[in-house]
Amino acid sequence: MIALSLRDIADTVDGVLHLPAGEADPERLVNGSVQTDSREVVQGSIFVAKPGATTDGHLYAPLAAERGAVLLLVERVLDLPVAQIVVADVVVALGSLASTVVSRVRSEGRLKVVAVTGSNGKTTTKNLLREILERVGPTVAARGSFNNQVGAPMTMLEVTHDTAYLVVEMGASAVGAIARLVGLVRPDIGIVLSVGLAHAGEFGDLDATVRAKSEMVTELLPTDVAVLNADDPRVAHMSEKTGALVVFFGEYGNAMVRATDVRASRAGTTFVLHLTSGEFRPVTFRVLGEHHVMNALAAAAAAEVLGVPLDIIVAGLESVQRAERWRMEVLGGRDNVTVINDAYNASPDSMTAALKTLAQIAEPGSRTIAVLGEMAELGSLAGEEHDRVGLLAVRLNISQVIVVGQGARRMHISTINEGSWDGESAYVDTADEAFELLRTLVQPGDTVLVKSSNSAGLRFLGDRLGDLFS
């Protein structure tokens, strides 16, 4: 974080500063990292005592102080020999502090901010954009999937006076969440990737999801840029809701940044990248799955707006080998067995894309195995969407389906009902049972997809299978 005085921080977050005995200097500067996890605190850090669903960060403040925290952001005064700022709500205070840091650095005239949202692909697009932008200037981007009301400000607070680019990932579980984050950071470029059924149970319906994702662009200024998916009608129509300049990306329609000659294989996807300038260049994109080409186009579009040359954009895209840990991650290799571990998130859209990729990349004559777990947070749509995935697996002629866990059982039932064969769909209750079944089932040359929501825990099954066939 940039250096701020204790008094300055207290004023910024509308808090009350409490200094420990023996310290009477509210002008002392603090510029360490900001942490919500006491285990990550180092000498000079600011510790944010965030209340949680199952615990309370205030309980870990003593450990943070012991590890070298020089300031605690708290909701009540603690009996600790460390400077403390007491606020009404530490999450709100964290956002205020992050907003101030970004605003002050931006006032120096160099920093550009890109924000990314969408039902799928946020983390991949953020990672691709970071790889591109780091080649032209110091870049700060979210770690992992830091995209909520805590994670996004934590990313923002990593900005320093040297930072040229800030890439913020923005997720939402309700209408208004993205608007709050946009208000904190005021992006120069807002990217909307897609609108789908991810988290539909939390939003209530698809219309609410559209409203939530639209918040990325409704408050952009005429001098800002909205980067929108031309191939998703719900996203494309957001151009009518923004006063910003619009840049469309996609493979079809009125896309200004587009991909042609797209060809997918086990090694990744090749395509020709076309920019709004009219320049074009072939790309060898090693991230598995044709659907990730859309994320590459979004990153390329934002980079072009920022003035990044085509050769640097292509070099950045080609340098990325995987979307993210547990996202279309290619493992295995022994006996020509390929394991695709894509079990960090799952929605109907991403499940469809993963199954289509599995069918598409398998070598002629080889078998495909789909190990599928629950898609969480679908609410009343859960039953029919799990049914639909089971039907799709049959229609794509997946050789073997293994469904894991009660939450996903309807996939198995739908697969059996739709299929005309016997035994090609199996159901097990646990990941351990699935692993034992796969140990005997997988043959040389097989391609195995492991796909589920994070809560199903199948990402660890994917890792075990990767190790087994490495």
149: CB partners within 8 A, 6+ apart: 91, 95, 177, 180, 181
Q: Is 118 annotated as a binding residue?
A: yes
Contact between 20 and 81 under an 8 Å Cβ cutoff? The reply is yes
CA 224 to chain centre: 23
Q: Nearest 5 degrees, angle CA 287-CA 452-CA 146?
A: 65
Query: 289: annotated binding-site residue?
Result: no
- In the sheet with 189-192, reading across from the earlier edge strand, the strands are 139-141, 165-169, 112-117, 189-192, 225-229, 245-250, 257-265, 268-274, 280-285
Give the pair of three-digit tokens for residue 119: 């039902």
* 120 carries a ligand binding annotation: yes
Instruction: Say how many CA atoms lie within 13 Å of 467 toward its Cβ.
Output: 7
Residue 3 to residue 377: CA distance in whole angstroms: 41
Total residue length of the chain? 470
User: Which residues lie closer than 8 Å to 73 by C-beta, 6 or more apart?
Assistant: 13, 15, 46, 47, 48, 49, 84, 85, 87, 90, 93, 94, 97
The answer on whether 33 is annotated among ligand-binding residues is: no
Question: Vertex 95, ends 100 and 212: CA angle to 5°?
Answer: 120
Enter the tokens of residue 309: 């040359």
Asked whether residue 466 is marked as a ligand-binding residue, the answer is no
Minimal CA–CA distance to 35: which of 158, 133, 122?
158
Amino acid letter for position 378: L
Binding-site residue set: 118-124
Binding-site residue set for ATP: 118-124
